[in-house]
Each structure stands twice: as C-alpha cells, then as structure tokens.
C-alpha cells in the first residue's frame, strides 16, 4: 500500500473526499492538504493531520486520533459537510429533482420544462400547481401532444404567507415535481410507480410510509393493500375535504391518495392523526381525475381519465437530508446562512424568533427572484403587488434582525441584491434563464428596497402622528390611550411597518393597540388573498358545453385573407343557438378561418362572413368586429348580423378586411424592430413586459429603471427607420423549440409555446418566436414614429408608436396642428418655439405682478384687522388675532399673516382663514417665538382646524398652512381655534 497524492483544487472548504472504508489502514500517518477533509465517516481536521473515527462505522463517536493511510487505487467521491454531518450527493435538492424526472422518463413520460410563474390563464394570478399548464388538455379542449409527461414546476402560493417560517413546511415559492397522464394510464400504474419511486429510488423505509385514500374509494384502498402489501392500519380513509379534489363548483374532479412520511413511528398506530405536523409530512399527492361534476352536483365519468400528481421537492429534501424543516435543506439553507451573516447572528445559536425571521427571508427571496425573472416587477396591483408585498416583508424583517444598509458597512446600500446573488447561484438547475437576467433582477431589488426604506421612514412619521392623536382623543377623559387596530393595519399593509415595532413604540408612550381589530383587518386581507390564489379554476367560458364536440379551428390566415368555411356553432349571450337573424349579436365558431384571433398582443381581425341562401339567393352578412381564442384553439368570431339569417351547418365565405390586416402586420413587425432597437440602445438586459398591436398604433412595455432620454428615443427611431429603408425580406420558419432557442430566438412575453414553434426573423436585426402576422418586407412599414414614452409601474416603461398608414396619418395631423399654430401666432414654423417662449415669459411676469398686487391688497386688508387683536395670558401681554379674510388666495393669506405677526410684536398668535374659490379653504397659523417657547406649535393648532374644514396641512413650529374642501365649516372652525388658543395661552 502506498500513500495517495491528494488534489490541491477541485473541492471547497465545505467538502470532503469520501473513500471506501476498506481503503483505510490505521498505522502510517497521512499529511493533509490544508483546507481539505478526507474520511469514511465523521472527521476532525487540524493544520497538518487528518484524524478519523472508527473506519468501519461512520456513526461512531471519535474515540481518539488515528493516523490513517489510503490505498492508492481508491476512488474519491465529493461529499458535502453540513454542520459536521456527511451529506450524500444523491440526496441534494438538484439530485432529487433529476432522479424524479429520470424515473418517469424511463417509464415513457416526456420531460417538459417548467412553465412561467405568470400563467397563460385568466382565472389564476400566479402558477400555483404543476397541472396548470396542462389545464386545456385535462378539459379536453386541446389535444394531447404526448400521452404522459413529467415536470418540475416553479410555484407561488401566498394564501398561507403568515405561516411561512413558523411551521416546518409552509413556503411561498416551491417546486412541485409531477407526473401526468392524459388518458394513458390510471390508478394502478400511478400508485405502483409512486411507491416504487418512494421506496426503491429514494430509499424511504416502507414501514415509515402512511397512505390516505378517499373514504369511498375501495379500489384505491385495495391497490395499496392487496397489490403493494401496505398494512391496513397504515392506510387511512379520509373525507371529501381531505381526499377528494375538485376544480371548482363544476368540472373535472376525482378522489386522491396521499403519501405521508412518519418521523416518529415509535408512537405506534393507534389514534393516529395524519394532520399532526409534529409527526407526519405529506410529500406526494395522487389525483385520480375521473369524474365531471355537473351543475346539480352529480358526478358523471369522464371520457378520458387523467392522472395529476404533485411531489413537493423541498419536503422530500427535508426527509432525505434528515433536517427538521424545509428551510434547512440545501435548496434554501444557503440563503438563510447569508442572511444570518448580514445580520451578524449565528443560525445554529439563534433563538426561535430569530430563526423564524431568517426563514421568512430565505423563502421570500426565492419567490421574488423567480417572479422578477419571469417578468413580474413590483407594483401596487395584481402580480406586482405580490412581489412588492414579499419584498417589503423581507426588508422589514431584515431591519428587525438589525441589518443596516447593505449589511456590509454601506449604510446607504441595499441588502436584497446580496441575498439575491445567493438565490441566483442556486438557480442553475431550477431555471437557467435566471442567471442571464441577473443584472435586471439585482437592479430591480436594489431600487425597490431603497424606495421602501423611505416608505418605512414615512411610516414612522405617520405612527408619531397617530400616537399623538390617540393621546389627544382621551384628553379630559379617564380612558386609557389606545391606537386603533385599523390604524396599525394601515401602517403594516400600506407602509410595511411591522406591528411588533408599532407595539413597542406605542408602549413607550403608554399607549396600547387594539389587536382584536387588527386581527380582523388581517383576516379580511387573508380571505381576499386565498380567494385570489388558492384554486385553479377548471371551468370553460363561452358556452363550454356546446364547445365540447367542436374541434380546433384551422387557421389559414398566414397565406390567404379569403376562404370558405362551415359554421360549426353559434352562441348568443354564451348560449348555443341554431340560427341568428338580422340585428343579432352573435359569436360564430367555424371549422376553418382566415381571421387572426387575438393573441401575442395582436388584436383580432375585422371583416365579413357571407352566406348565400339556396332557394332565393338572399345573402346573410355578418360584420366581424373581433376574434378571440377560447379553450385552446377554437376561434370565436364576434359580430353583428347586418342582413339575412345565419345558421349552423351552412357554408360561408370568410373575408378579412385587408387594409386593417395590413395595418396590424405593419405594427407587429415594428414591435420586433423596436425590441431589437431598445436592446441595442439601452442594453441587452431589457426585455418585453407586454405589448399591444392594433390597427392605429402599437404599444410596447419593457423592463427599465428610468425614463429614456430624448437622444435615446431619437437613436431608436433612427435605427428602426434605417431597417425599414433597408427593405429586408422577412424569413418565417417552423422548428423545434429547442432549435429555436439554440438559434437565439427571443420568446414573446406571456406566450406559451409547444414543441414546434414559428420563428419570425428579420435577418441581421431580430429573431423571435411569434405566431402573429407580419409584413413580407420591412419596406412595407414605410415609416415609424414614437408618440410617447412613460412609466406605467415600478421598473416598467411603455412606448407607444405608429407605423405604416398610421404613421402617415400622424405626421399629416401634426403638420395641420403646426399650420394652425403658425397662423394663430403669425410666425413661420421655425419661429414657433421662440414665440412661445416669449409669450410664456410675458405670462410669468404678468402673474408675478398680479400676485404682488394681491399680496399688497391682502396686507392692506390685514392692517385694518390688526386693531381687532386682543390680549390674553396671565400678564395680559399676549396678542391673539383669529379672523376670516373673505376670498384671499393661499399665497396672499400667507403674506397677510407674516405682516400681522410682525406688526403685533412678540408675543403674538395669528390665525387666518379664507375661501379662495368654490369648495376651497385656505388656512394659516403664525406664532412668534414667545408663543412657541410656551410649548405651542403652529402645526398642532392648524391640524384640528384643517380637519374640521375637510383637509390637512402642516409646517414649522412657528408657521403652518393648510387647505380644505368644506368652506361651510370655516367660520365655526375659526371660532373653535380662537377658544383653543385662549385656553392654551391663559394657562
């Protein structure tokens, strides 16, 4: 035996090299490469020697140092060392995922990529289940492309957000491993494979697995017990709430069976509750989609029985990695460690409260990184609000942990990007696109965090105001001060201010919080969240029952604008009919059509359907105003019967409005050119976030953090018009999705693609996956003009532009406006700017003169009021003046107050109010230093005054202004202010 030369590179400080125990000898010593660890079991490391435990049993405690030697032929295996424990690489999160996919691929399943977190489904806000991308197949509205599939689907659920970090299993972002059968196999195979995967592939002990089945599902019970030999005592029958899956009030449904892992088998089999989180975790759910629930609640067998399963990756990792919760798996724990480092705490030594906060950060950071990567940026509505809410929760949780600035010394910096880098590092096998989008993700998080820090500071100021109100409201009573739960919730929900901090600050002032009403507000929000996120609606719109037997519409519109077709169905107000007469609004389903249905941002075609009557030759004419897709690929032509009667089963001539189609084609190709121009001018990281292609204009939304400069817009326009002038012939081809991505084709935002895709290329300029209609040559676009650029949400910009005929019309209209302006100003076009600048300067000077005149008038009027001031106070030396000044504007009222407070000398207090216009109130409070020194502040005086008048305001201790909307309350409010000040000044 000889000593082994160990590698100097290739393993990190958190890895060891594991050798078979037979390779060890315990006599000669072995020098260690510093920083590396070698063992067959538990080890300790010194600077020069490796000391190993018993060589035959890795679980034996170290009894003493042993100098060891390896057989030179031994083959090392890298093993991660986590908290002093060896971790088998086959139990890593990445390995578990791959083993699942490989397992089902070997059994005939097509492995498909994860769908976006932004679903192609209007009934669901975010992708919440692996089955969502297969919904049209389950409904039978889209033919299956493969008989069975397997996926690892990114998912987001926020209905249990308050449980994140508090339980061992609740997460907002998670991966759902799933195997799906579209009429290919059913219960027997699904159950057999689930058991084989769990016990043989993953090696879970059979005696630790429990099964739940639907209470009436004897077939499933028998498969588990008779076929696989699961003891009856470990198979639990549960009711409809637990083990019968429904898609909604009506639609596909069926019983389900779930697999549970038992962490404490020593507790026995009597009185077992599978819902006991301290003992069990459900890790695999098998849904047997075999019924259709009808309107009356009855069940009828589906023609095609399907399988929909879900295995939680994080849950399986927790089991196999033998950690106490999902957060301490290698899928999430590195993020927790980085957060702990920034907070200068040790996760291992932290208390439960600190660990909970670190778990919240680890979970939410995964969610926001993947959401932003999929095109969802923070905003106040829809999906954007989910991202914003999660980001705010991370920021405020980090502050509670004591993270300041970026956590690394820059107090003005942001710490979210540092955590996001760790998420991105872990993303390779989850979503490879995350790394390519990393710079945009990091910048978006940085901006949102810094913006929210300012919001938090505003929340602190609002809290101060709320606490002052709480104290003010109990003056003269014996009631204890209390902050309303509604106010605390506003701070929490709108300003992201943690209720824990609110309570702490309030208690310092001797103020309690009405937590009951706070909990009520929280429950309202939670119910709204659950309603929005908790179900996948498998319902069919546009006359679903009627559409069941109608095949997909054959689209002919790429090659022709006219075709014959057969009327397959008619719908009026969503109900099927056999005929519709003149004047009726109708939705028409054809077997084939040249009409483009709205998708990919391009609106549907307009045109006509013509039907000849066989007997008298009378025509039926339908004017088509819109075309939409329903249930996958059924085209719904929406129109009005302008002549005759149209019937199901009759042949029609379909004719698309060629002029409008050309306008749409021009604008759609222009959006492709626009995206390429944007990438060249402002950077490749920008990406599409939405689009609209209409007949009169185009709209293009994209990710960017600032408004575009004029010179950038000019450069973009210049590039596009240059490409138009080049007269480049477009190339369109159909290829596999893999080949298209390999060729560099860009996917359109929000679109879902099959195995075969259509690629539209402007050679040398752009290549995109797109099903829309396009010009054949860029010269057809004729011209391009940006008409606006603006922000529509945080980090999202929008460009509107015109091209083709709409471009010509826009230029002609603007030219007419210019001619009219030149005529009015009596100058040439090139002189308009100078003339307008001159007029604006004249207007400014005139306004200044008017304002000065008004101020003088107000001061003169104020001088006549000075005599009305009266003296109060113990020394009768404080002068007080509270007056109404008719219709004086706000600026003039300010000048009058300043004049009066100077005229009356110190100490003096002046309160003035006026009604400068209909429904308007102006208020001013001015105090001299002598009054301010008595502890009276102008802002505190004006606040109740403004509130009485339906407004608000503020200012400095010696001067405050406010406005209002209730002039009818002004005189009474001034009288109250007079009495308030008298009481304060006479003390």
Give the per-residue pLDDT at 52.
Answer: 35
Give the per-residue pLDDT at 784.
Answer: 97
- Binned at pLDDT 50, 70 and 90, residue 501 comes out as low
- Based on the fold, state whether residues 646 and 681 are members of the same structural domain: no
For residue 607, what is the domain's CATH number?
2.40.30.130
| Residue 43 counted as domain residue | no
Give the per-residue pLDDT at 248.
Answer: 63
Is 539's pLDDT higher than 70?
no
Give the per-residue pLDDT at 875.
Answer: 67
Phi-psi region of 338 (alpha: psi -120 to 50; beta: other; left: phi over 0): alpha
Q: Please report where in the chains the tokens 């409070």 appear, as a residue.
A: 925
DSSP characters for 282-331? EEEEEEEEEEEE-TTS-EEEEEEEEEEEEEEHHHHHHHHHT-SSGGGSTT
Distance between CA atoms of residues 824 and 817, nearest Å: 11
Is 468's pLDDT higher than 50?
yes
- Based on the fold, state whether residues 582 and 650 are members of the same structural domain: yes
Question: pLDDT tens, 135-153?
Answer: 878 877 778 889 999 999 9
Is 131's pLDDT higher than 50?
yes
Is 34's pLDDT higher than 80?
no
Distances (CA, A) of 672 to 375, 418, 596, 677, 679: 18, 34, 18, 9, 11
| Cβ–Cβ < 8 Å for 152, 100 | yes
Give the per-residue pLDDT at 130.
Answer: 83
Question: If we measure between CA atoms, which residue out of 319, 311, 257, 307 comes closest to residue 284?
Answer: 311
Give residue 106's Cα distance to chain centre.
Answer: 36
Mean pLDDT of the chain: 83
| Residue 818 counted as domain residue | no
> How open is the CA angle 168-85-44, to the nearest 5 degrees?
150
3-state secondary structure of 683: coil
For 317-321, 506-510, 666-670, which range has the lowest pLDDT when averaged over its residues? 506-510
More confident residue, 37 or 928: 928
Phi-psi region of 631 (alpha: psi -120 to 50; beta: other; left: phi over 0): left
Determine the average pLDDT of the residues in 332-342.
95
- Based on the fold, state whether residues 800 and 872 are members of the same structural domain: no
- Binned at pLDDT 50, 70 and 90, residue 546 comes out as very low
| Residue 539 counted as domain residue | no
| Residue 450 counted as domain residue | yes
Determine the average pLDDT of the residues in 147-168.
88
For residue 209, what is the domain's CATH number?
3.30.930.10
pTM of the model: 0.56
Is 22's pLDDT higher than 70?
no
Full domain range(s) for residue 970: 864-986
- Based on the fold, state whether residues 670 and 601 are members of the same structural domain: no
Give the per-residue pLDDT at 180.
Answer: 95
Is 201's pLDDT higher than 60?
yes
| Cβ–Cβ < 8 Å for 128, 532 | no
Is 75's pLDDT higher than 50?
no
| Cβ–Cβ < 8 Å for 533, 158 | yes
Question: pLDDT tens, 664-686?
Answer: 999 999 999 999 999 999 988 78
Distance between CA atoms of residues 60 and 51, nearest Å: 13
Could you give the strand order of the β-sheet that contains 731-736, starting from the edge strand earlier in sequence? 731-736, 756-762, 766-769, 746-747
- Based on the fold, state whether residues 940 and 956 are members of the same structural domain: yes
| Residue 853 counted as domain residue | no
The residues, ordered by sequence, that sit 6+ positions from 692 with a Cβ below 8 Å of its Cβ are 601, 603, 698, 699
Question: pLDDT tens, 270-291?
Answer: 889 999 989 999 999 999 999 8
- φ/ψ of 238, rounded to 5, equals -120, 160
More confident residue, 895 or 22: 895
| Residue 685 counted as domain residue | yes
Q: Give the number of other CB atoms < 10 A from CB of residue 380.
A: 11
Determine the average pLDDT of the residues in 236-263.
88
Question: pLDDT tens, 809-855?
Answer: 999 999 999 999 999 989 898 888 888 888 898 888 888 888 788 77
Distance between CA atoms of residues 112 and 798, nearest Å: 33
Give the per-residue pLDDT at 41.
Answer: 36
Annotated binding site for Zn(2+): 668, 672, 770, 774
- Based on the fold, state whether residues 241 and 283 are members of the same structural domain: yes
**Residue where a domain stops, chosen among 326, 343, 372:** 326
Question: If we measure between CA atoms, which residue out of 640, 643, 641 comes closest to residue 617?
Answer: 643
| Cβ–Cβ < 8 Å for 307, 134 | no
- Based on the fold, state whether residues 482 and 584 are members of the same structural domain: no
**Residue where a domain stops, chosen among 309, 326, 343:** 326
Question: If we measure between CA atoms, which residue out of 927, 889, 920, 937 comes closest to residue 905?
Answer: 927
Give the per-residue pLDDT at 985.
Answer: 84
- Based on the fold, state whether residues 97 and 229 are members of the same structural domain: yes
**Residue where a domain stops, chosen among 278, 309, 326:** 326
Distance between CA atoms of residues 519 and 506, nearest Å: 17
For residue 726, what is the domain's CATH number?
3.30.980.10
The dihedral built from the CA positions of residue 866, 871, 872 and 877, taken in this order, carries a sign that is positive
More confident residue, 411 or 803: 803
- Based on the fold, state whether residues 494 and 514 are members of the same structural domain: yes
Determine the average pLDDT of the residues in 766-794.
92
pLDDT exceeding 90 applies to what percent of the chain? Answer: 45
| Residue 251 counted as domain residue | yes
Give the per-residue pLDDT at 748.
Answer: 62
- Based on the fold, state whether residues 764 and 913 are members of the same structural domain: no
Is 610's pLDDT higher than 70?
yes
Alpha helices in 347-437 (DSSP H): 352-373, 382-400, 416-425, 433-436
Distance between CA atoms of residues 335 and 343, nearest Å: 12
Determine the average pLDDT of the residues in 950-961.
84
Distance between CA atoms of residues 523 and 519, nearest Å: 6
- Binned at pLDDT 50, 70 and 90, residue 617 comes out as low
Annotated binding site: 668, 672, 770, 774
3-state secondary structure of 781: helix
Distances (CA, A) of 615 to 114, 426, 579, 619: 56, 72, 17, 11
Distance between CA atoms of residues 801 and 807, nearest Å: 8
- Based on the fold, state whether residues 739 and 868 are members of the same structural domain: no
- Based on the fold, state whether residues 360 and 445 are members of the same structural domain: yes
Give the per-residue pLDDT at 759.
Answer: 93
Alpha helices in 426-512 (DSSP H): 433-436, 438-472, 485-493, 499-508
| Segments of 559-600 assigned E as strands | 562-572, 575-577, 579-581, 585-590, 592-593
Is 547's pLDDT higher than 70?
no
How many separate domains does the chain show?
A: 5
Is 775's pLDDT higher than 70?
yes
């Amino acid at each position: 035996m000889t000593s082994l030369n160990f590698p100097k590179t290739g393993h990190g400080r958190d890895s060891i090299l594991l050798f078979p125990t037979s390779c060890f000898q315990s006599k000669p010593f072995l020098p260690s490469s510093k920083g590396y660890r070698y063992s067959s079991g538990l080890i300790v490391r010194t600077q020069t020697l490796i000391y190993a435990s018993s060589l035959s049993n890795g679980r034996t405690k170290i009894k003493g140092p042993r100098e060891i030697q390896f057989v030179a032929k031994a083959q090392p295996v890298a093993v991660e060392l986590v908290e002093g424990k060896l971790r088998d690489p086959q139990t890593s999160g990445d390995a578990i995922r791959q083993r699942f996919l490989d397992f089902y691929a070997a059994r005939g399943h097509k492995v498909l990529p994860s769908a976006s977190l932004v679903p192609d489904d209007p009934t669901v806000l975010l992708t919440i289940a692996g089955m969502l991308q297969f919904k049209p197949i389950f409904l039978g509205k889209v033919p299956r492309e493969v008989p069975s599939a397997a996926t690892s689907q990114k998912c987001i659920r926020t209905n249990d957000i308050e449980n994140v970090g508090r339980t061992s299993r609740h997460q907002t972002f998670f991966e759902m491993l799933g195997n799906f059968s579209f009429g290919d196999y059913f219960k027997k195979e699904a159950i057999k494979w689930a058991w084989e995967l769990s016990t043989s592939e993953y090696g879970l002990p059979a005696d630790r697995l429990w099964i739940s089945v639907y209470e009436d599902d004897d077939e499933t019970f028998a498969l588990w017990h008779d076929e696989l030999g699961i003891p009856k005592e470990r198979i639990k029958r549960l009711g409809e709430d637990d083990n019968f899956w429904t898609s909604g009030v009506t639609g596909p449904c069926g019983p389900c069976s779930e697999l549970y892992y038992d962490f404490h088998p020593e507790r026995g089999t009597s009185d077992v509750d599978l819902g006991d989180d301290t003992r069990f975790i459900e890790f695999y759910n098998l849904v047997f989609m075999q019924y259709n629930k009808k309107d009356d609640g009855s069940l009828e067998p589906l023609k095609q029985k399907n399988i929909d399963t879900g295995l939680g990756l994080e849950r399986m990792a927790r089991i196999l990695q033998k950690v106490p919760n999902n957060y301490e798996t290698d899928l999430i724990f590195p993020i927790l460690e980085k957060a702990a480092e920034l907070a200068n705490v040790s996760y291992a030594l932290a208390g439960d409260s600190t660990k909970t906060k670190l778990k919240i950060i680890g979970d939410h950071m995964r969610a926001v990184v993947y959401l932003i990567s999929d095109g969802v940026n923070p905003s106040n509505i829809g999906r954007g609000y989910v991202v914003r809410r999660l980001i705010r929760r991370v920021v405020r949780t980090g502050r509670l942990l004591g993270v300041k600035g970026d956590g690394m010394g820059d107090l003005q910096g942001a710490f979210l990007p540092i955590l996001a880098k760790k998420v991105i590092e872990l993303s390779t096998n989850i979503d490879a696109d995350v790394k390519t989008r990393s710079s945009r993700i990091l910048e978006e998080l940085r901006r949102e965090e810094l913006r929210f820090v300012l919001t938090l500071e505003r929340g602190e100021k609002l809290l101060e105001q709320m606490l002052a109100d709480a104290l003010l409201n109990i003056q003269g009573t014996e009631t204890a001060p209390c902050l309303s739960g509604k106010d605390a919730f506003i701070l929490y929900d709108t300003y992201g201010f943690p209720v824990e901090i609110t309570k702490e600050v309030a208690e310092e002032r001797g103020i309690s919080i009405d937590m009951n009403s706070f909990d009520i507000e929280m429950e309202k929000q939670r119910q709204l969240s659950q309603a929005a996120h908790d179900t996948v609606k498998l319902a069919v719109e546009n006359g679903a029952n009627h559409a069941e037997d109608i095949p997909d519409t054959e689209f002919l519109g790429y090659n022709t604008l006219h075709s014959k077709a057969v009327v397959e169905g008619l719908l009026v107000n969503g109900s099927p009919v056999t005929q519709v007469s003149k004047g009726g609004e109708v939705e028409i389903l054809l077997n084939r059509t040249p009409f483009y249905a709205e998708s990919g941002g391009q609106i549907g075609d307009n045109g006509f359907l013509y039907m000849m009557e066989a007997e008298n030759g009378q025509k039926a004419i339908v004017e088509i105003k819109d075309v939409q897709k329903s249930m996958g690929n059924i085209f719904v032509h929406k129109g009005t019967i302008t002549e005759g009667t149209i019937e199901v089963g009759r042949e029609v001539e379909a004719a698309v409005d060629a002029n409008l189609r050309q306008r749409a084609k021009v604008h759609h190709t222009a959006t492709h050119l626009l995206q390429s121009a944007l990438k060249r001018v402002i950077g490749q990281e920008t990406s599409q976030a939405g689009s609209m292609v209409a007949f009169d204009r185009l709209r293009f939304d994209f990710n960017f953090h600032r408004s575009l400069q004029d010179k950038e817009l000019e450069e973009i326009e210049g590039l596009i018009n240059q490409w138009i002038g080049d007269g480049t012939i477009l190339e369109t081809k159909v290829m596999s999705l893999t080949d298209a991505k390999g060729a560099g084709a860009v996917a359109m935002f929000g679109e879902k693609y099959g195995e075969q895709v259509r690629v539209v290329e402007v050679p040398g300029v752009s290549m995109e996956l797109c099903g829309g209609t396009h010009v054949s040559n860029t010269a057809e676009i004729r011209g391009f003009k940006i008409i606006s650029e603006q922000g529509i949400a945080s980090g999202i910009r929008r460009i509107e532009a015109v091209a083709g005929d709409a471009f010509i019309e826009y230029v002609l209209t603007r030219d007419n406006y210019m001619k009219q302006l030149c005529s009015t100003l009596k100058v040439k076009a090139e002189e308009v700017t100078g003339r307008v600048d001159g007029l604006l300067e004249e207007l400014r000077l005139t306004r200044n003169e008017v304002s000065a005149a008004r101020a003088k008038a107000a001061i003169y009027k104020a001088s006549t009021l000075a005599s009305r001031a009266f003296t109060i106070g113990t020394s009768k030396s404080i002068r007080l003046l509270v007056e109404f000044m008719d219709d004086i504007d706000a600026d003039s009222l300010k000048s009058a107050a300043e004049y009066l407070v100077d005229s009356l000398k110190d100490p003096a207090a002046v309160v003035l109010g006026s009604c400068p216009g209909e429904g308007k109130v102006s208020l001013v409070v001015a105090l001299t230093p002598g009054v301010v020194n008595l502890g009276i502040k102008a802002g505190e005086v004006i606040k109740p005054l403004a509130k009485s008048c339906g407004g608000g305001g503020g200012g400095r201790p010696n001067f405050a202004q406010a406005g209002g909307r209730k002039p009818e309350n002004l005189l009474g409010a001034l009288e109250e202010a007079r009495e308030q000040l008298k009481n304060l000044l006479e003390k």
